[in-house]
Amino acid sequence: MDNPIIENTGTIFRPGNARTVNNALVEEVSARNAREGFLLVSYAERGRFNAVNTRTLRLNIGRNTVLTNQSGAFINLREIRPGMRVTAVISPVMTQSIPPQSNAFIVVARVGEQIPRPPANLTSTARVLRVDRNENLLFTGDPFNINRQTVFAVNDRTVILDRRGNRVPLRFLRAGQRVEITHANFSTASVPPRTTAFRIRVL
């Protein structure tokens, strides 16, 4: 029986030496020009015990990438918008980054067809367990239960604020502090899960 969650979210499968991302949701579009940039897409993947996990993937678009609409007409990257659905044939080679990246060979976009989008991000309140300044990671949650912990990746775009609203560096954060974190609405399937922090505020 088809899983309606997977059908609605999109899937990825591996025919031969390539991978195909089917009916994925476009989360973000970055276009350096009409032919080069990337798409950030999300899709569903079946995990253990038949659980359905949402994954994200960055599709790198280059001058050799074939871009078409659902009718087969050629389009440029700037015609693709967040909220659209795409099917893409991609390289089987993926980076180990978060999110992983792969080069797209063919992208077919359902131009003009949009669906209601989920919230762009989520906000959580948690206690800081520790800060890994070498890897730019913030660990939060229950120190005695790894299943109730979350790891947040911090990058150059992450805004970190103290109690007065002043911007501070990651090294300012300390174990035991209570923080409010605005983060991506997806995470890895690792234990503890890992996601990207957009904004961190000390409470």
Number of independent structural domains in the chain: 2
Q: Are residues 108 and 127 in the same domain?
A: no
The pLDDT tens digits for 41-52 are 988 766 554 445
pTM above 0.85, yes or no: no
Q: Are residues 26 and 65 in the same domain?
A: yes
Q: Which of 60, 86, 114 is the last residue of a domain?
A: 114
The pLDDT tens digits for 74-114 are 999 999 988 889 999 998 888 888 889 999 999 999 887 65
Q: Are residues 30 and 64 in the same domain?
A: yes
CATH of the domain at 183: 2.40.50.320
- What are the φ and ψ backbone dihedral angles of 138, each rounded to 5 degrees? -120, 120
Query: Which residue in the block uniquely carries the two structure tokens 């967040």?
Result: 82
Q: Are residues 24 and 74 in the same domain?
A: yes
What range defines the domain where residue 77 resides? 4-114
Q: Which of 79, 114, 149 is the last residue of a domain?
A: 114
Q: Are residues 137 and 106 in the same domain?
A: no
Q: Are residues 21 and 103 in the same domain?
A: yes
**Residues 6 or more apart whose Cβ sits within 8 Å of residue 187:** 150, 193, 194, 195
Using 50 as the pLDDT threshold, list the residues of the chain that sit under it. 1-9, 11-13, 15, 49-51
